[in-house]
Structure 1
Amino acid sequence: MKVQNIKINNIPAIIWGEKSDKSYIHVHGKMSCKEHAENFAEIAEKKGYQTLSFDLPEHGERKGSDYRCDIWNGMHDLTVIGNYVFSMWSGVSLFACSLGAYFSLNTYTDRNFMNCLFQSPVLDMEYLIQQMFCWFNVTEEKLCMEKEIPTPVDLLRWDYYQYVKKHPIKKWNIPTSILYGGKDTLQSAEVIQKFVKAHDCKLTISQSSEHPFMQKQDIETVCTWLEENV
């Protein structure tokens, strides 16, 4: 498969596949990187698409940087990537996973994507942060006082939590298909169903899958879903 490594405003990125007028922006999730788009890119190329993947802040080639992987830097980088891709391809679609989906929902509301695919999306970050409060015995008051509290999952931040509460996802008019694991503990089935109903999405639930979709049988599930929806 043809692979071109580039930098877009110092953001490391890969363009996958033979030249086409159609492409997917691939936004990875937490603890992933741009190289993990390979399987997606192979399926997309068969459907006539190139794929552009890139490293989110603190991921891939950007590990060890002081540039945090938070909503503000995420939105900035997704805007830079979006501007580039829409200037280079006439038809643009979106794939985003987990945290990448949350960043996309905040950044790409007004972008004219042809199609959108979300795998294990974080659709309601306030719900997830409040889950973390429960898991790690943290209160709003404690977070307000300390401003930042490390946890085994992620760093809880007061400023991030305030942004999330003030910016719930209300607008999303892009044709969207969602793959959700029935054993996902980061977003409840109710959260997913509420979004699907509000935004007329197509939902596929893999009842035996957890959030990462990393078990052996999950790989086949993801591939089948991609083949049907790319």
Structure 2
Amino acid sequence: MEKTCFQIHGIPAILWGSGSNKVYLYIHGQAGRKEEAETFAHIGCHYGWQVLSIDLPEHGERKKDTNSFDPWHVVPELLSVMEYIKGRWTHISLFANSIGAWFSMLSFENEPLEKSLFVSPILDMNQLISDMMLRANVSETELERERSIPTASGQTLSWEYLLYARNHPITKWKVPTAILYGEHDELTDRTVVENFVQRFHCNLTIMKNGEHWFHTPEQLEVLNNWIETRLRE
């Protein structure tokens, strides 16, 4: 499989596969990096797709970036990447993982994507932050006063981030979408996923005993089989 490393407007990227007029943009989640797209690319290239993966701020080659893994930095970047893609490919689809799905929906609601594949997507950031605040016993008043509060989970609650999430709910998503969701996903409640699926007419696959992070041999087998099925359609 061909692999080309380059940059898009300063964003580290990898293009996987030989020439094609079809491309999947691969968006990783938190703690991910562009290289993780390799397994997906092997499957995608078999079905005639190229795969373009990038490093989001503070990840991969950009770990030295600071205070930029947030939607007001990521969304403009993703839009610039999409403009690059539209100038080079005819058929464009999306694969996104976890928070990468949320960033993608914020960025691409008006883009002519043919299909999107979401794995363990964050679909309601406002709800997720509210749940984190509840677990950390942090009130809105406290967060507004302090602006940011580190939690025992390692995540930092941010008043600015909460306001952004509330002001930018996902209200439009017309892309035909398939979702793979773990039954025991600790970040997104099943009711949130089911409501999203019903609202936007998505295809939903639930892995029994699955988690948010698909990483065990059994989970990875389910993930890869799901990808194979979706790309074969």
Tell me the TM-score normalized by structure 1.
Answer: 0.98
Aligned residue number for residue 124 of structure 1: 124
Q: SS at the partner of 1:211?
A: coil
Match for 2:138: what amino acid?
V
Deviations 1:133-187 (A, max 9, x none): 1221111111100001122242211111001111111100000000000000100
Q: SS at the partner of 1:94?
A: strand
Deviations 1:44-70 (A, max 9, x none): 001100000000000000002125100
In the alignment, is the contact (CA less than 8 A) between 1:181 and 1:208 conserved in 2? yes
Identity of aligned residues (%): 41
Aligned residue number for residue 32 of structure 2: 32
Whole-angstrom distance in 2 between the partners of 1:74 and 1:25:
15
Aligned residue number for residue 68 of structure 1: 68
Match for 2:209: what amino acid?
S
Whole-angstrom distance in 2 between the partners of 1:67 and 1:188:
28
Whole-angstrom distance in 1 between the partners of 2:30 and 2:86:
25
Alignment of 1:130-169 (within 5 A): 130-151=130-151, 152-169=153-170
- Alignment partner of 1:192 is 2:193: yes
How far does residue 8 in structure 1 lie from its aligned partner after superposition? 0.5
How far does residue 80 in structure 1 lie from its aligned partner after superposition? 1.2
- Alignment partner of 1:220 is 2:218: no
Match for 2:3: what amino acid?
V
Aligned residue number for residue 3 of structure 1: 3
Equivalent pairs counted in the alignment come to: 230
Whole-angstrom distance in 1 between the partners of 2:206 and 2:215:
15
Aligned residue number for residue 100 of structure 2: 100
Alignment of 1:22-61 (within 5 A): 22-61=22-61
Q: SS at the partner of 2:169?
A: coil
Whole-angstrom distance in 1 between the partners of 2:10 and 2:68:
15
Deviations 1:83-134 (A, max 9, x none): 1111110100000000100000100000001111000000000111011112
Segment drifting more, 153-162 vs 91-100: 153-162
How far does residue 229 in structure 1 lie from its aligned partner after superposition? 0.6
Aligned residue number for residue 207 of structure 2: 206
In the alignment, is the contact (CA less than 8 A) between 1:120 and 1:178 conserved in 2? yes
Aligned residue number for residue 183 of structure 2: 182
Q: SS at the partner of 1:88?
A: coil
Q: SS at the partner of 2:87?
A: helix
Extract unaligned runs of 5+ from structure 1. none
Whole-angstrom distance in 2 between the partners of 1:67 and 1:181:
30
In the alignment, is the contact (CA less than 8 A) between 1:23 and 1:89 conserved in 2? yes
Q: SS at the partner of 1:74?
A: helix
Whole-angstrom distance in 2 between the partners of 1:13 and 1:57:
12
Match for 2:226: what amino acid?
W
Whole-angstrom distance in 2 between the partners of 1:143 and 1:208:
34
Match for 2:126: what amino acid?
E
How far does residue 78 in structure 1 lie from its aligned partner after superposition? 0.8
Aligned residue number for residue 78 of structure 2: 78
Whole-angstrom distance in 2 between the partners of 1:109 and 1:52:
19
Q: SS at the partner of 1:4?
A: strand
In the alignment, is the contact (CA less than 8 A) between 1:67 and 1:73 conserved in 2? no
